[in-house]
Structure 1
């Protein structure tokens, strides 16, 4: 019976970069795509990081979707689309990591679905400057959050979490690029720029806090 149970737990999952085998329940459960093992990682820390990052990238995708719904056919449409395409890649990667590390998504995804789109469309209704102010606020918050995660993983074990660190650093740099694009396209000329930016960032911090835990 023990052997049968162990065999039942064997499976094969396919990801964008190939396959990894979930070994039997009596193995150290090594994943060939990253070299990480469930036995030697800090699972609660990884759960929080991957869950909130997936939620953040999901929300960012919905924000850009809302902006494109309003400004997609204007001169700034291709710029928004370019940033959105990168956010799609970020979201795809965190979906893969959720499967790899068996992390459940936040239960708040349906709310972020609606809230993200409303924020994106609402900021875009203020014009190009409003959309770019929203981008600056959100991307600044996300990049700061990524920096905090990098520090956490470095303190844990930079070698053990090397691939995840590389992923987060890459995405942080791309978020900073989006931030700079927003500034270059007149974000600071948006109506009540500082009020708008600060309000969005307060919302981002609340979303991060909740998505890590729920």
Structure 2
């Protein structure tokens, strides 16, 4: 039995209630409150939910760092407000997954420091190619994330859409917003970026590797 499964079997209270008080490692009593949910921890697939929330949290964190890098280069240009608006939505996504990680007791990937650096470097690097480069990056990344979200939605729907309804609603909403970002990138001349097709393939290959690693590590 995994650590997550053991925790799920030992703490069967419903999310949205206050957990019994426990001693911390320092002997102090602590209490944990989980966000409202219709799920009980012993009725969900812990391994599946852990994997989904961990990788989605990492993805939204990486997206935030990409937009931060783009804003560092293009924030004062005419496209700055467009990038800022997309970044603000990504901040909301990350905030929600931070909450879900606490609610479902999921640990983040150990690669977070790496995604911090790589995400910012990717955002700034493509922005140095100009507005078109930044938008090409947005198209590539958001297309990858939307595809990944669609795979998660399909898997949860096949298993039990009612049981995973809360998580499904979150993922569907964020998937739709990522697709909006994708379309915004195309509207702002992403396809005019230098070597657009090659750049897009390289970025999406990197996204695939990041998803694979973040799910597992």
User: What is the aligned partner in structure 2 of residue 96 from structure 1?
Assistant: 99
Given that 2:35 and 2:99 are in contact with CA atoms closer than 8 Å, whether structure 1 keeps it comes out as no
Measured after TM superposition, the shift of residue 32 of structure 1 is 6.6
The runs of 4+ residues in structure 1 deviating greater than 4 Å are: none
CA displacement at 1:65 relative to structure 2 = 0.0
Whole-Å separation in 2 of the counterparts to 1:180 and 1:160: 32
Aligned mates of 2:35, 2:92 — CA distance in 1:
22
1:192 to 180, 195, 199: 195
Query: Is 1:209 paired with 2:212?
Result: yes
Q: 1:131 aligns with which of 120, 129, 134?
A: 134
Q: 1:40 aligns with which of 39, 43, 46?
A: 43
Question: Helix, strand or coil for the counterpart of 2:162?
Answer: coil
Contact 2:142 / 2:178 at 8 angstroms: preserved in 1?
yes
Number of residue pairs aligned between Structure 1 and Structure 2: 195
Q: 1:59-98 maps to which residues of 2 (within 5 A)? A: 59-98=62-101
Q: Structure 1 residues 198, 50: closer, same or farther in 2, change over 3 A?
A: same
Determine if the alignment matches structure 1 residue 171 to structure 2 residue 174. Answer: yes
Gaps of 5+ in 2: 1-9, 23-32
Corresponding residue for residue 119 of structure 2? 116
Residues 74, 47 of structure 1: alpha-carbon distance in 2 compared, 3 angstrom cutoff: same
Instruction: Tell me the equivalent position of 2:19.
Output: 22
Partner-residue secondary structure (3-state), 1:175: helix
SS at match of 1:54: helix
Aligned equivalents of 2:152, 2:38: Cα separation in 1: 20
Q: Deviation per CA, 1:40-88, whole angstroms, max 9, x where unpaired?
A: 0000000000000000000000000000000000000000000000000
- CA shift digits 1:136-175 (9 cap, x unpaired): 0000000000000001111121001101100000000000
> Alpha carbon RMSD of aligned pairs, Å?
1.9
TM-score, normalization by structure 2:
0.86
CA contact (8 A) 2:35 2:103 kept: no
Shift of 1:31: 5.8
